[in-house]
Structure 1
């Protein structure tokens, strides 16, 4: 859905000025985590935590394990998407590198304060491995961007074609609008690339990082398609969790509601969308007739599944060699 790589970029790019670190990263991390916990606490208090915990206790372990396994398969898909994006910048690493670095970043996200801790780790590992820090940062930024494009476009398409619930226009309209705006921005990318030299200096530097992608947006289409497949995979994961709870809900409802909920959960307000996702589920699934307690329980269960999935990244974190500064001359 989510970490500042600017320091590494400044260290390796002569034209870049030193980037300032956030003054209080741990305070920001604590605030996001605290806000998420506060929202969940309010929901549990308002709707009575006891039936919600009883619902959670019904989850069949086999379905939970299957959901986590499918979630991890999605991360493997993310590694391939990142490899495609890096190749556009002539960073040709082996798939196993990207696979390991994705899981290192996923594990780092659990413990490093800030929005982009995992992304910064990925940039450092890939950039130092190939002596291409700038390109590594650009590939990670692009990976994050195409992930959001796939999310926004799938959510908009689902809101248009799968709105059988029905979801009210107050939610559908902004979702479609975000999809339309991002599509327009994607189509206008070559024009934006030509205007980079006219932008203020900070924006010019940021634009220069991703300029190769802006000049050739069509090259991003396979990665965006993978992002949309990934979002469908995440919807199937949560369908499995619901089946494990004994719910009989059609898969189409998850393909509709999960991407829309993820649009809101992608806002960097709480830790991994905690609280925001549960609130979105409460509204979206509630409109389809799901009990409020079931919707909250499903959101909490998915948060637990992603945390368990993130912890598996400890294997890659321990077994992957620490990045060592490499120069292009050394790579021969």
Structure 2
């Protein structure tokens, strides 16, 4: 008798869909969806559009950060081509959760175009993610200090910023030495990217009519961003909302506003990510050929 095998990618996709659906179900059994929808429906349109623009700018800068890593390993992409590749990766991450994912697809395409050092490709994509998480961690600490709740010696946590920077620098230096020349510039990019997204969250809060206890909402927004980065849900949906629900209760924030903020962020992310579908309809390789662009790859086989 032939054994039936389960496709692990399909299983992964269903698991993510199930976890996202379960988390959303839990959230909206605690707080009626109509209450959250009323908050979003009455939001200031101008401020919502401003938030969208800030998010787009943050993603453009994030693509420049990734380009720094690519150049460091010998991949010579122009900025426009790299941005197209970045948008395609966003689309894969959000709308095709069960496959190889956006990062995996970037690696696949670049390898197909002639770059053979997959280890360095993996390293550059991983460090790109780590750089963003490091900046997110630092901003989390800063917003924590400005939150209204009282904790004695709360400012003492600021010491974690230089300590974590030292640890991060040395981690890159010894584990990914071929990327060490990019660390300072990429870290600056990461802080600007995260600052833009924090400003976006601030605009969303104003659009939703919330102008009190802003540091608390921003702190919760950053915590939910960390949760959303875990590969457990579809693009973070469900994970953000359940974090907003629990966190708003603990921090004594308006739960409707906290969940509306997370949903607005997801909707803007989905809207921007959807632009990457163009590069599925017209394959990325066809784009390169039509525009007479090339991925000039310099393969390196130096010891790492």
CA displacement at 1:318 relative to structure 2 = 3.6
Bigger drift between 303-312 and 235-244 goes to 235-244
Per-residue Cα deviation, 1:287-318 (whole angstroms, up to 9, x for no partner): 55532122122212221221112112223444
Counterpart CA distance in 1 for 2:19 and 2:159 is 27
Give the structure 1 partner of residue 268 of structure 2.
305
Q: Deviations over 1:101-131 (max 9, x none)?
A: 0001111123323485100111223333353
How far off its partner does 1:138 sit?
2.9
Q: Which residue, out of 220, 245, 249, partners 2:208?
A: 245
- Residue 41 to residue 240, structure 1, CA distance change in 2 (3 Å): same
Superposed CA deviations along residues 146-202 of structure 1, whole A, max 9, x for unmatched, are 12222222223332x42x322769xx89x9898688545424427744xxxxxxxxx
Q: How does 1:197-212 map to 2 (within 5 A)?
A: 210-212=176-178
**TM norm structure 1:** 0.73
Match of 2:77 among 93, 101, 119: 93
Q: 1:46 to 1:122 in 2, by over 3 A?
A: same
Deviation at 1:84, TM superposition (A): 1.0
Number of residues paired by the alignment?
285
**Cα separation, 2, equivalents of 1:114 and 1:312:** 20
Q: Are 1:150 and 2:135 matched, yes or no?
A: yes
CA contact (8 A) 2:97 2:234 kept: no
TM-score for both structures, normalised by structure 2:
0.79
Deviation digits for residues 56-99 of structure 1 (CA, Å, limit 9, x no counterpart): 22124333333223212211111100111112222222111211
Unpaired runs of 5+ residues, structure 2, are 1-5, 289-293, 300-304
User: How far does the alpha carbon of each residue in 1:225-248 deviate from its partner, in whole angstroms, 9 at most, with x for none?
Assistant: 211221121122222222222222
What is the alpha-carbon root mean square deviation over aligned residues?
3.4
1:267 aligns with 2:250: no
1:1-332 superposed matches below 5 A: 23-114=7-98, 117-134=101-118, 135-159=120-144, 161-162=145-146, 164-166=147-149, 182-183=164-165, 185-189=167-171, 192-193=174-175, 210-213=176-179, 216=180, 219-249=182-212, 252-286=215-249, 289-319=252-282, 321-322=284-285
Distance 1:181 1:329, change over 3 A: closer
Partner of 2:76, secondary structure, is coil
Change (3 A) 1:250 1:99: farther
Contact 2:204-2:261 within 8 A present in 1 as well? yes
**Displacement after TM superposition at 1:277 (Å):** 1.5
Q: Partners of 2:111 and 2:102 in 1: how far apart?
A: 14
